[in-house]
Structure formats: structure tokens, C-alpha cells
Amino acid sequence: MAKVTVTFQEPTNEYEASNQRMIKFKLEQLKTELNTSYQRTIENDTQAFQWFNMSYG
């Protein structure tokens, strides 16, 4: 499993639209990192399975 590192800034005491935009951006970044790492895991598992079948099938 891949290590995902996304840092979130501390929220301000008062509402600021820019702070909300930054949180939204970071959440989208986290989603993208999780999705791409999951796709790599599936790809690696598929390659390992295919190699096993070709070698010992």
C-alpha cells in the first residue's frame, strides 16, 4: 500500500473563502493520490497473477 502525504493547514478563527478553497483542493489531491495508488496496486496484482499463470499454469 502506498504512503499518502497530504498536509492540511489549520483553519482560521473566522470564515474565509480562501481557506475553504484550500481544504477542497487538498481533499481533491488526497482523492487523486488514493485512486492512483489503488490503480497501481490492481495493476501489480494483475501482472503477478499473469506471470504466475504463465509460469505454472
Residue-wise pLDDT for 2-57, tens only, equals 677 788 888 888 889 998 899 999 999 988 888 887 777 778 888 888 888 888 86
> Which pTM value belongs to this model?
0.58
Q: Which three cell numbers stand for residue 28?
A: 481533491
What Å distances lie between residue 32 and 11, 12, 20, 44, 57, CA to CA? 22, 26, 18, 18, 36
Chain-centre distance of CA 23, in angstroms? 16
